[in-house]
């Protein structure tokens, strides 16, 4: 049986990251005073599946850490510990830590998050603190409700009237083959009383000789119960014949009780044991990163736990609550409800650990191959696709097959007459439309709702507004708007930057807002919607807006604008996109270093998008980002310049026309003595870029009036491109030129035409820049 | 040249490497055979505007856009008109962390040779102002000298010496061989 678990680890990473986002959003939504039980459950479930998954895959660090998280959550869930604001903060911080750990695992690196160790300590301290129940050692009265079912305080009491049974259970090799699962038996036993399951340290076969279907495990079970031996034996009824089972009644002494309560059992016993089995192998073979704990490991090391990480964690835990260790058993008692609660927890954990037993052999085996295979899928990213989209594709392929069959039939006919010609044309038309639909739908697969990008903002705004002492309400809309995954990945950072800017520079402090007669609660809106073939993302705040005077004076001071230059408001706004510009009086951790906006603009321009900014002083600012839906396909207009064919994105073309000589005007010379030609078109003067000049080609039309002028959009300004001839319009698949070559000014990519030749795609903005028009403009601005 | 004899040696030694040699002008050059993806004839390219003269343009290689570089021009040799026998060696080179596929135009492909690393003579020092790291070493084959190129450095390096410098380096290389 060769199951390589590492092939699933990618799924685990994705699910964990999803779980983390869910935890994050639920945590942010929590109202401390009056929280929803269901949201705590959701958070708990997410944490639990991350823990389970990470243990399965042998990521012990994550598993151990998540376990602490889970313990706290469980206490809150069971109302043993009241929810406090610092808990939420801790949980949020731990979400970050786990995310970093998973990121590190994905890259196959050791995680060195500096926040990890202190946070772990904080968790342990919090958990070690008594919760609402008073469990002080000496004065505990009999009916005092006991604290939590969790590890840290469960040592508090055992009912002396119960009987302690020791059951030595060696499962027969065939137990799993017969359809019996020890887990179910243990679950049943746990219902009878308090159960401690310890995995016996037996000789396992060599890893290579493991067989998945053979059960090699042996357990020692300690059961504290009031039920009769016959009832206990009943549990094993089905497996009695094939297994070796011994029942012993143990005398209740403080020692046996202490043994029963030994720290390993403190957690879900079953799980701990099975994990150990897995962990041991992963520890030895995969050379796991050393735990970051540095505490001495002197305290009780469980006999059968070979795992250093967990041993250290164990030791650590005990250090933090020595009082609990020293508890005299006699003075303690068991609250029935608590036992019930603990059993429930056990059950829950047991039922969730079924995978451990059934796959423990496989996982042991797979661990060996993990390091090599994991490194291969670092760069693989995957997309989760809605099943509906896949079904649509299947339908479309079906249609395509039918059309193909139809065309095939025509091809088999001996002669082609007028009638078959018509059917042929019809078929070809259908083929064309199906191909187009198929293409569109395949592109759809890469589309993801923008909520993937938006989801991080509630947290971001929450943290930053707390840090800055501002009150901000974040309103999201159009989260379901879909855009290409690649575009999404590249737009996240610019968006984060813009939102941070809005928070830092835009929204004022509550007092200031009150003075200005605005509500104390500032609003930042994030909107996304489709317009044409583009996606528009708006970031709107009702803050102070841009201070044009300040921007101008800073720009003058920094030499970005000459003293005698006069700029209009819009041009001043454009200044913030200049490299090295910052208006913040204090450089904060958030923004103000002046490296931001120009990078934002560059990133967006690289995506073939643009960014616009409108602002009213005192009222707020409005940033609009326009992005293409996809980077993979483009509607293009083929043009000819000399004997070269170029593609111009259809999206950017306003119109194409021939101009007469009298429409052409010359603008004064620039530094190089170059006279800029402009055409006068319907009350507008449009600068002309001669494509052949910029690209050093031999063109038919050297003069503007001889060729065709294509009016294109360049950063909301019109520019005319002079070309020789317009060819066909077609959809082109964009090929990156930079994969094998380098970035070329004026060219955004390449495509392959129907005849197999390569045509280059013109990047209007960079071409205009190349011609000096953009440069001149920006200089003037 | 006794190829078969050298091949039998190759199976014994670990440091033996196979090189594809090609002719360009008077010189014979070699490139690591593992970096060669394919050898194909010359086909029309799509010119890249404002590219250096030695970049002949890009071609469609089964859906990939691959730039074609004329190594003659790159080395400052006189330009040849391309004919049906002009050969393009498509190589896969590692540049920084990325691998790029680039075609190089050469006069003719010559042979596959096996060279022991021990027999690879280091590149003579031409002074500090010229970067000759793109030459892996020199080896002699019968009475000819073969210049073994490091394609990764040759095609990846943005600050290669100019064509004039390169041609002078190659001229100087002839002296030790002769």
Q: Do residues A612 and A640 both lie within one domain?
A: no
Residue B142 lies in a domain: yes
- The C-alpha atoms of residue B85 and residue B71 are separated, in whole angstroms, by 16
Q: What percent of chain A has pLDDT over 70?
A: 72
Residue A37 lies in a domain: yes
**C-beta atoms of A739 and B63 within 8 A:** no
Question: What per-residue confidence (pLDDT) applies to A293?
Answer: 40
Q: Which helix (H) or strand (E) holds A644?
A: strand A644-649
- The C-alpha atoms of residue A191 and residue A224 are separated, in whole angstroms, by 11
By residue range, what is the domain housing residue B7?
3-165
Question: Which chain A residue is nearest to residue B93, measuring alpha carbons?
Answer: A740
Widest Cα–Cα separation across chain B: 50
Q: Do residues A341 and A237 both lie within one domain?
A: yes
By C-alpha distance, which of A680, A656, A655 is closest to A666? A680
Question: What per-residue confidence (pLDDT) applies to A638?
Answer: 92
DSSP secondary structure, A739-762, as one string: TTS---TTEEEEEE-TTS-EEEEE
Where among A589, A605, A628 does a domain terminate? Answer: A628
Residue B18 lies in a domain: yes
DSSP secondary structure, B109-156, as one string: EEEEEEEEGGG-BPPPP--TTS--TTEEEEEEETTEEEEEE-HHHHHH
Lowest mean pLDDT among A45-59, A197-211, A316-330: A316-330
Q: Are A396 and A441 in contact (CB under 8 A)?
A: yes
The contacts of residue A246 (CB under 8 Å, 6+ apart) are A167, A168
Residue A1 lies in a domain: no
Q: Do residues A225 and A339 both lie within one domain?
A: yes
Question: What per-residue confidence (pLDDT) applies to B89?
Answer: 92
Where among A376, A398, A417 does a domain terminate? Answer: A376
Q: Do residues A307 and A436 both lie within one domain?
A: no
Question: What per-residue confidence (pLDDT) applies to B15?
Answer: 67
What residue has token string 């920094």? A558
Residue B175 lies in a domain: no
Q: Which helix (H) or strand (E) holds A226?
A: none
Question: What per-residue confidence (pLDDT) applies to A330?
Answer: 42
Residue B81 lies in a domain: yes
Q: Are B23 and B108 in contact (CB under 8 A)?
A: yes
Q: Do residues A160 and A208 both lie within one domain?
A: yes
CB-side neighbour CA atoms (13 Å) of B146: 26
pLDDT in tens, A144-188: 444 434 433 334 456 666 777 788 887 777 777 766 777 777 877
Q: Do residues A502 and A574 both lie within one domain?
A: yes
Structural domains in chain A (count): 4
Q: Do residues A564 and A598 both lie within one domain?
A: yes
By residue range, what is the domain housing residue A395?
387-445
The most confident of the ranges A232-241, A283-292, A415-424, B124-133 is A415-424
Residue B158 lies in a domain: yes
Q: Are A346 and A190 in contact (CB under 8 A)?
A: yes
Residue B148 lies in a domain: yes
Q: Are A84 and A72 in contact (CB under 8 A)?
A: no
Task: Please state, as a whole number, how many other Cβ atoms lie within 10 Å of the Cβ of residue A327.
Answer: 18
pTM over 0.80: no
**C-beta atoms of A739 and B64 within 8 A:** yes
DSSP A57: T
Q: Is the pLDDT of residue A426 over 80?
A: yes
Q: pLDDT tier at A705 (50, 70, 90 boundaries)?
A: confident
- The C-alpha atoms of residue A266 and residue A327 are separated, in whole angstroms, by 15
Residue A382 lies in a domain: no
Where among A320, A343, A376 does a domain terminate? Answer: A376
| Min Cα separation B37/chain A (Å) | 14
Q: Are A27 and A95 in contact (CB under 8 A)?
A: yes
**C-beta atoms of A759 and B46 within 8 A:** yes
CATH of the domain at A714: 2.40.50.180
The most confident of the ranges A56-60, A247-251, A651-655, B17-21 is B17-21
Q: Is the pLDDT of residue B162 over 70?
A: no
Q: Do residues A294 and A349 both lie within one domain?
A: yes
**C-beta atoms of B50 and A745 within 8 A:** yes
When CB atoms are compared, the residue of A745, A747, A757 closest to B60 is A757
Q: Which helix (H) or strand (E) holds A62?
A: helix A60-77
- The C-alpha atoms of residue B90 and residue A436 are separated, in whole angstroms, by 33
- The C-alpha atoms of residue A521 and residue A507 are separated, in whole angstroms, by 9
- The C-alpha atoms of residue A478 and residue B53 are separated, in whole angstroms, by 50
Residue A147 lies in a domain: yes
CB pairs under 8 A between A and B: 67
Structural domains in chain B (count): 1
Using a CB-CB distance cutoff of 8 angstroms, which residues of chain B are in contact with residue A756? 60
Question: What per-residue confidence (pLDDT) applies to B130?
Answer: 60
Q: Is the pLDDT of residue A314 over 80?
A: no
pLDDT in tens, B112-151: 888 887 777 777 666 655 666 778 888 887 778 888 888 8
- The C-alpha atoms of residue A520 and residue A470 are separated, in whole angstroms, by 9
Q: Is the pLDDT of residue A283 over 70?
A: no
The distance from CA B136 to its chain's CA centroid, rounded to whole angstroms, is: 10
Q: How far apart are the first and last CA of chain B?
A: 19
**C-beta atoms of B58 and A737 within 8 A:** yes
Q: Do residues A588 and A657 both lie within one domain?
A: no
Q: Are A606 and A461 in contact (CB under 8 A)?
A: no
Lowest mean pLDDT among A30-39, A418-427, B29-38: A30-39
pLDDT in tens, A8-20: 777 778 778 888 8
The most confident of the ranges A503-507, A579-583, A715-719, B90-94 is B90-94
pLDDT in tens, A582-636: 655 444 444 444 456 777 887 887 777 788 888 888 888 889 988 877 666 778 8
- The C-alpha atoms of residue A356 and residue A364 are separated, in whole angstroms, by 11
Residue B170 lies in a domain: no
CATH of the domain at B141: 2.40.50.180
DSSP B47: P
Residue B26 lies in a domain: yes
Question: Which chain B residue is nearest to residue A749, measuring alpha carbons?
Answer: B65
Q: Do residues A192 and A340 both lie within one domain?
A: yes
Q: Interhelix angle for A418-445 vs A387-412, to 10°?
A: 160
Please list the residues that pair with A539 across neighbouring strands: A526, A623
Q: Do residues A82 and A211 both lie within one domain?
A: yes
Using a CB-CB distance cutoff of 8 angstroms, which residues of chain A are in contact with residue B58? 737, 740-741, 750, 758, 760
Question: Which chain A residue is nearest to residue B64, measuring alpha carbons?
Answer: A735
Residue A341 lies in a domain: yes
Question: What per-residue confidence (pLDDT) applies to B170?
Answer: 66
Q: Do residues A410 and A506 both lie within one domain?
A: no
By C-alpha distance, which of A632, A636, A381, A634 is closest to A484? A632
**C-beta atoms of A757 and B44 within 8 A:** yes
């Amino acid at each position: 049986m060769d199951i390589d678990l590492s092939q699933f680890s990618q799924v685990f990473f994705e699910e964990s990251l999803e779980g983390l986002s869910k935890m994050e959003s639920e945590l942010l939504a929590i109202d401390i005073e009056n929280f929803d039980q269901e949201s705590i459950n959701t958070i708990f479930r997410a944490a639990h599946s991350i823990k389970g998954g990470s243990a399965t895959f042998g990521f012990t660090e994550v598993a151990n850490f998540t376990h602490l998280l889970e313990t706290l959550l469980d206490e809150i869930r069971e109302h043993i510990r009241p929810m406090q604001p610092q808990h939420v903060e801790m949980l949020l911080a731990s979400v970050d830590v786990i995310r970093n750990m998973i990121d590190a695992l994905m890259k196959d690196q050791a995680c060195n998050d500096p926040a990890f160790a202190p946070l772990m300590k904080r968790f342990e301290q919090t958990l070690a603190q008594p919760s609402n129940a008073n469990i002080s050692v000496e004065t505990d009265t009999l009916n005092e409700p006991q604290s939590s079912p969790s590890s840290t305080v469960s040592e508090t009491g055992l009912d002396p009237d119960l009987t302690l049974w020791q059951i030595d259970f060696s499962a027969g090799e065939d137990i799993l083959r017969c359809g019996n699962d020890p887990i179910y038996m243990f679950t049943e036993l746990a219902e009878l009383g308090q159960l401690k399951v310890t995995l016996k340290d037996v000789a396992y076969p060599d890893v290579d000789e493991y067989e998945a279907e053979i059960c090699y495990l042996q357990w020692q079970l300690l059961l504290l119960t009031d039920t009769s031996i016959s009832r206990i034996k009943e549990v094993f009824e089905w497996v009695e014949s094939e297994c070796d089972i011994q029942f012993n009644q143990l005398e209740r002494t403080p020692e046996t009780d202490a043994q029963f309560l030994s720290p390993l059992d403190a957690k879900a016993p079953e799980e701990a044991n099975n994990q150990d089995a897995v962990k041991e192998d992963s520890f030895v073979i995969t050379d796991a990163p050393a735990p970051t704990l540095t505490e001495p490991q002197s305290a009780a090391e469980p006999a059968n736990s070979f795992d250093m990480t967990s041993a250290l964690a164990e030791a650590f835990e005990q250090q933090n609550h020595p009082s609990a260790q020293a508890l005299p058993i006699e003075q303690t008692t068991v609250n029935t409800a608590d036992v019930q609660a603990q059993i429930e927890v056990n059950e829950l954990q047991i039922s969730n650990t079924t995978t451990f037993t059934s796959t423990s052999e496989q996982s042991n085996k797979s661990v060996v191959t993990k390091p090599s295979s994991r490194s291969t899928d670092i760069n693989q990213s995957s997309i989760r696709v809605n099943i509906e989209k896949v079904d649509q594709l299947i339908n479309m392929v079906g249609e395509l097959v039918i059309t193909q069959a139809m065309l095939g039939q025509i091809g088999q006919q001996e002669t082609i007459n007028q009638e078959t010609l018509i059917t042929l044309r019809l078929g070809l038309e259908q083929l064309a439309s199906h191909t187009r639909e198929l293409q569109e739908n395949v592109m759809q697969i890469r589309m993801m709702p923008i909520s993937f990008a938006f989801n991080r903002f509630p947290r971001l705004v929450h943290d930053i507004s707390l840090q800055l002492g501002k009150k901000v309400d974040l309103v999201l809309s159009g989260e379901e708007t879909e855009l290409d995954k690649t575009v999404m990945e590249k737009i996240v950072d610019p968006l984060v930057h813009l939102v941070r800017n809005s928070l830092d520079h835009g929204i004022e402090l509550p007092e200031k807002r009150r003075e200005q007669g605005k509500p104390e609660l500032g609003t930042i809106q994030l909107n996304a919607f489709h317009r044409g073939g583009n996606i528009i993302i708006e970031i709107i705040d009702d803050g102070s807006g841009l201070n044009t005077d300040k921007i101008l004076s800073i720009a003058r001071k920094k030499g970005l604008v000459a003293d005698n230059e006069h700029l209009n408001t819009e041009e001043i706004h454009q200044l913030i996109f200049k490299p090295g510009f910052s208006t913040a009086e204090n450089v904060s951790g958030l923004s103000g270093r002046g490296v931001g906006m120009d990078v934002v603009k560059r990133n967006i321009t690289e995506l073939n998008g643009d960014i616009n900014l409108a602002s009213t002083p005192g009222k707020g600012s409005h940033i609009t980002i326009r992005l293409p839906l996809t980077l993979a396909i483009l509607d293009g207009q083929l043009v000819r310049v000399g004997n070269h064919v170029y593609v111009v994105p259809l999206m950017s073309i306003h119109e194409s026309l021939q101009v007469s000589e009298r429409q052409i005007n010359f603008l004064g010379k620039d530094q190089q003595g170059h006279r800029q030609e402009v055409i006068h078109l319907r009350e507008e003067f449009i600068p002309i870029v001669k494509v052949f000049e910029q690209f050093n080609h031999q063109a038919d039309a050297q003069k503007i009036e001889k060729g065709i002028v294509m009016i294109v959009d360049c950063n909301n300004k019109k520019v005319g491109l002079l070309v020789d001839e317009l060819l066909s319009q077609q959809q082109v698949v964009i090929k990156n030129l930079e994969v094998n070559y380098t970035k070329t000014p004026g060219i955004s990519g390449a495509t392959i035409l129907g005849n197999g030749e390569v045509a280059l795609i013109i990047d209007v903005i960079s071409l205009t820049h190349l011609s000096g028009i953009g440069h001149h403009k920006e200089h003037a601005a | 040249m006794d190829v078969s004899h050298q091949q039998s040696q190759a199976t014994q030694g670990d440091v033996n490497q196979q090189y594809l040699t090609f002719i360009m002008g008077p010189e014979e050059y070699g490139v690591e055979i593992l970096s060669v993806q394919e050898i194909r004839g010359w086909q029309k390219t799509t010119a890249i505007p404002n590219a250096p003269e030695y970049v002949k343009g890009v071609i469609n290689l089964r859906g990939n856009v691959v730039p074609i570089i004329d190594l003659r021009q790159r080395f400052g040799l006189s330009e040849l008109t391309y004919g049906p026998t002009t050969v393009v060696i498509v190589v896969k080179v590692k540049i920084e962390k990325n691998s790029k596929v680039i075609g190089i135009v050469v006069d003719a492909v010559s042979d596959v040779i096996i060279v022991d690393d021990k027999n690879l003579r280091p590149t003579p020092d031409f002074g500090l102002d010229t970067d000759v790291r793109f030459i892996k070493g020199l080896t002699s084959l019968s009475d000819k000298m073969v210049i073994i190129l490091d394609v990764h450095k040759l095609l990846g390096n943005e600050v290669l010496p100019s064509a004039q410098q390169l041609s002078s380096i190659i001229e100087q290389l002839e002296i030790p061989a002769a």
